[in-house]
Structure 1
Amino acid sequence: MKPVLYLCLLLAGLHAVAHCDHLPGHHNRHDHHKDTVHEEHHEEHHHVGDCLKLAPSNADFAFRLYKQITSEAPKKNIFFSPVSISTAFAMLALGAKSATLTQILEGLAFNLTELQEKEIHDGFHNLIHILNRPDSELQLDMGNALFLKEKLKTLEKFLEDIKNLYEAEAFSINFKNTAEAQKQINDYAEKKTHGKIVELVKDLDPETAMILVSYIFFKGKWEKPFMPKDTKERDFFVDEETIVKVPMMHKMGRFNLHFDRELSCTVVQLYYNGSATAFFILPNKGKMKQVEDALWKETVSRWSNSLHPSSANLYIPKFSISATYDLKDHLIKMGITDVFTKQADLSGITGDPEL
């Protein structure tokens, strides 16, 4: 009898934490000038410190949003990049004031009594810097852009902060010509995501004043590759009722594993070339909801600390997930309310409270 395998792949943006902990190429850098090496190392640790301050909040936001989405679509696949969403709203926070500002930052899971607004923006700046470091072994592109209505009088400070802190490119655009505006934005997103996101916006409102775009693209190769000759069609259990035949790659060997008796699930950690890892979480039959309910950063941290090398027969299906979310309702339920109403105070963008 074949064991039933339920596969849940957690893509919760925790790579940000991994990148903070381990900077690609940091340990094998050579330079003949000792002073330069000292200065560079000092600067790297400064970046890591700023970036690590964000990690707990970014992880909390990831799991809160995951829970919010799954509560309304319990049977659907879920796929999103939390760090991309956090970045987009943190950029918006640069132009927000009063309650609108507080709601955005607290909605992103930041404790404003422990972290100052400046520390949050500095943290994102350094996170973007670290994630975009060239790593010859994996491809990770993260970036931001600002599309502004022609003749929109924008405060110089907002534009400077967006560029300096979030490395955002700014473009003037005619939203009245909706077809051309959509093409300009969609072409930009398609190019930056290497053809993966082809229709970022549609049905644009001609009265739009500004669009903030945050994108992320990741492509990695396994540190220990799976052999193509070992890929065979096998049963994949989509849910309790649905079984489909899929190409399943296969590898026998030693992996970092942990069986969580309390949650009835197996956790496998696989390494990419470079400085990224993936967690595969395999709930026992009927335990999917129990595992999802327990998905918090503390659980993942506990799993990370419990992993040990163990022999396993690993099968992973080939799959493709595409998803689109309107985050407005989800974020309102998470406390980010004013920004979606006429009460929004975005006067830090144009100086105009009516924006």
Structure 2
Amino acid sequence: MVLYFHLLALVASTMSSDSDELLKQSNDQFTAKMFQKVVKLNPGKSMVMSAFSVLSPLAQLALASEGDSHDEILRAIGLPNDTVTKQVFLDSNKELRSLSRVELKLANRVYVREGGELNPEYAAVSRDVFNSDVKNVDFAKNTEAAKEINTWVEEATNKRIKDLVSADSLNADTAVVLVNAIYFKGKWVSQFSKEDTKDRDFSVSKDKTISLPTMQQSAYFNYGESQELDAKLLEMPYEGDKSSLLIVLPNEIDGLDSLLNKLKDPAVLRKAVDSMYNAKVDVSMPKFKIETKIDLADVLKKMSIEKLFTPGQARLDKLLKESQNLFVSGATQKAYIDVNEEGAEAAAANEFGIAYLSAMIPEQLTFNADHPFVFYLMERNNILFSGVIQS
């Protein structure tokens, strides 16, 4: 039997201190690893992904598995045991729903094949910890099943993620589909004026320049300069002051590859972010809209999650009422982000930032994002989305 999981995700939030710290550490490590893999799969391209949205379904699958497969997943997501995993995600889901003044939609659903039934203990965990509902569907009618799942995904992401599940990925052997969706839309605390947006040069490399619609404003933001990253950092908050967009801009036009290499260690980014300070900054940055499709199964295998995708080794014995030889046959993520004068809108779907400057602060700082950079959509300390703008 095969199991196919789908995930949608977007922006997140905060929680109680112990769980918050555990999730932050887990998310930092997992995001850094996944980010490197996805960037390599998209050479020279702008991309967006949500590692945060992958953590929840992986945790669900860990709680449904046994033996080496179970241990492999927990090692990958950086959590010590099932008890801690349940508490972290229980606290996380409560806090994610408490964000104010931004639009945040969270949804989880488990699709089980017609006639199948979740293990009662797993069903209770899925409902109480992950707030998932359960629905039976006839996967043998793959076109109708795919349409039903995709319609639910579209509704959960304000119609930003479409056609997540392909009919070809479903068949009579499909036992379960896990879908996790997060959608975020926020307005800047300090919005850009559309009248100030003009086409300006963006240096893709030292030898190539293109023209992009570029936003401009002067306002107070968190700003930093990191010698370790050889980059400038800018954090622009959304209304509610719990979520923000963090941009890490290399000092050199061709400095992206070097920056990406340094970001392999999440502690370097945290050190840079902790040294940021509030100052008035002249900001110039391009508007951007990106959608990226990721073969999540391929990425996770490269992150040492292999048994989950291997028949006879996945050991998902706690998932269904009747134990069967289940494994994950495929997993896909679709991620979307739109950053403009008003703010940002983001969604993601998965099928299955130093040394402190001196005390002498210049009267006016300039942050001109006119060459490739890295961005993070943040909820306090948690990275919800990450990506690269380079074309």
Pick the TM interval, shorter chain: 0.7 to 0.9
Q: What is the TM-score with the length of structure 2 in the denominator?
A: 0.75
- Residue 199 of structure 1, CA deviation: 0.9
1:121 counterpart = 2:91: no
1:352 counterpart = 2:316: no
- Residue 15 of structure 1, CA deviation: 6.7
Deviations 1:305-346 (A, max 9, x none): 211233432112111110111111221121111110112101
Q: Secondary structure at the match of 2:108?
A: strand
1:340 counterpart = 2:278: no
- Residue 233 of structure 1, CA deviation: 1.4
Q: Out of 89-98 and 233-242, give the one that drifted further.
A: 233-242
- Residue 14 of structure 1, CA deviation: 11
Structure 1, unaligned stretches of length 5 or more? 1-12, 21-46
Aligned length: 311
- Residue 236 of structure 1, CA deviation: 1.9
Name the structure with the higher strand share.
2
Preserved contact between residue 48 and residue 126 of structure 1 (Cα < 8 Å): no
- Residue 80 of structure 1, CA deviation: 1.1
Percent of residue pairs identical: 26
Question: What residue is the counterpart of 2:48 in the other structure?
Answer: 79
In the TM superposition, what are the counterparts of 1:254-293 in structure 2 within 5 Å? 254-274=220-240, 275-284=242-251, 285-293=253-261
Residue 169 of structure 2 aligns with an amino acid whose one-letter code is L
Question: What residue is the counterpart of 2:14 in the other structure?
Answer: 19
1:144 counterpart = 2:108: yes
- Residue 62 of structure 1, CA deviation: 0.6
Give RMSD over aligned pairs: 1.9
Q: Secondary structure at the match of 1:180?
A: helix
Deviations 1:70-126 (A, max 9, x none): 23433222311111101111111121111111111111233x2xxx32111211121
Looking at CA atoms only, which structure, 1 or 2, has the larger radius of gyration?
A: 1
Q: Secondary structure at the match of 2:104?
A: strand
Q: Out of 175-184 and 71-80, give the one that drifted further.
A: 71-80
Distance 2:57 2:91 in 1: 15
Deviations 1:181-216 (A, max 9, x none): 011000000001011001110123212111001111
Distance 2:87 2:219 in 1: 42
Higher relative contact order (CA 8 A, sep 6+): 2
Question: What residue is the counterpart of 1:109 in the other structure?
Answer: 78
Residue 244 of structure 2 aligns with an amino acid whose one-letter code is T
Residue from 23, 28, 33 that aligns with 1:64: 33
Question: What residue is the counterpart of 1:41 in the other structure?
Answer: none
Name the structure with the higher helix share.
1
Q: What is the TM-score with the length of structure 1 in the denominator?
A: 0.83
- Residue 300 of structure 1, CA deviation: 2.1
Structure 2, unaligned stretches of length 5 or more? 1-8, 327-391
Distance 1:198 1:164 in 2: 28
Preserved contact between residue 128 and residue 143 of structure 1 (Cα < 8 Å): no
Preserved contact between residue 10 and residue 182 of structure 2 (Cα < 8 Å): no
Question: What residue is the counterpart of 1:8 in the other structure?
Answer: none
Distance 1:50 1:277 in 2: 21
